Structure 1
Amino acid sequence: MQITNLRSKFNIYWRKVAFICIVLFTLANQAYAQRNVAMNNPNYDDRFLSYGFLIGIHTTTYQLKYSDRFVSKELDSLYAISPSWSPGFSLGFIVNMHLSEFLDLRLLPKVSFYEHRIEYLRLDEPKIDELVETTVVEFPLLLKYKSERRGNFRMYMVGGVKPGIEASGKNDVDEISKENLNIKSFNMSLDVGFGIDMYYPLFKFSPEIRFSKGMTNMLGNSGNELSAGIDRLNTNTITLYLLFQ
Structure 2
Amino acid sequence: MRKLFLILILFSCFSTSYAQGRYKPESMLNYQEVDQKLLHFGFTLGINSMDFAIYNSGNGDVRAEQVSFTPGFSVGIVSDLRLHEDWSLRFLPGLEFGERTIRYSNLPLETVNVESVLVNLPLLLKYRARRLNNYRPYLIGGASYKIDVQSQKSLNPDKDMLIRLKSTDVYLELGAGIDFYLPYFKLATELKFAVGLRDILNHQYDFDNPGYEAYTDAMRKVNSKIITLSFHFE
Aligned residue identity for 1:151: N
State the shift of 1:231 in Å: 1.1
Corresponding position of 1:94: 78
Q: Deviations over 1:19-77 (max 9, x none)?
A: x949x82674244432412100122201000100001101111001122xx24xxx33x
| Residue of 106, 111, 133 corresponding to 2:115 | 133
Q: Is the contact made by 1:35 and 1:152 (CA closer than 8 Å) also made in structure 2?
A: no
* Aligned 1:47-196 pairs, distance under 5 A: 47-67=37-57, 70-71=58-59, 75-76=60-61, 78=62, 80-84=63-67, 85-122=69-106, 128-169=110-151, 171=152, 175-176=156-157, 180-196=162-178
Q: Which amino acid aligns with 1:191?
A: E
TM-score, structure 1 as length reference: 0.81
Partner letter of residue 63 of structure 1?
A
Return closer, same or farther for 1:81/1:173 CA change in 2, 3 Å cut-off: closer
* SS of alignment partner, residue 77 of structure 2: strand
| Alpha carbons of structure 1 residues 185 and 178: separation in structure 2 relative to 1, 3 Å | farther
Q: Secondary structure at the match of 1:63?
A: strand
Cα shift at 1:173:
5.7
Q: Deviations over 1:70-104 (max 9, x none)?
A: 24xxx33x2x3111323211100000000001100
Tell me: CA distance 1:174–1:119, structure 2 relative to 1, closer, same or farther (3 Å): closer
Residue by residue, what CA displacement relative to the aligned partner does 1:154-178 show, whole Å, maximum 9, x if unpaired? Answer: 0100000011112234x15654599
Conserved 8 A contact 2:155-2:164: no
* Percentage identity across paired residues of the two chains: 28
Change in 2 beyond 3 A, CA 1:178/1:87: closer
1:198, distance to aligned residue in structure 2 (A): 0.3
Provide the residue aligned with 2:210 in structure 1: none
Corresponding residue pairs, total: 219
Find the counterpart in structure 1 of residue 209 from structure 2: none
Amino acid across the alignment from 2:47 = I
From 197, 215, 236, the equivalent of 2:179 is 197
Structure 2, unpaired ranges of 5+: 206-212
Residue 224 (structure 2) pairs with residue 240 (structure 1) = no
Q: CA deviation at 1:182?
A: 1.3
> 1:25 matched to which residue of 2?
14
Gapped regions of structure 1 (runs ≥ 5): 1-9
Whether the 8 Å CA contact 2:169–2:197 is kept in 1: the answer is: yes
Are 1:225 and 2:214 counterparts? Answer: yes
CA deviation digits over 1:168-208, x for unaligned, max 9? Answer: 34x15654599611110001110000000000110000000
- Shift of the 159–227 alpha-carbon distance from structure 1 to 2, 3 Å rule, reads same
Q: Considering fraction of residues, name the structure with more helix.
A: 1
Query: Which amino acid counterpart does residue 89 of structure 1 have in structure 2?
Result: F
For 2:38, give the aligned amino acid.
Answer: F
Length-normalised TM-score, structure 2: 0.85
The one-letter code of the counterpart of 1:208 is: E
For 1:103 and 1:32, the matched residues in 2 are separated by 24
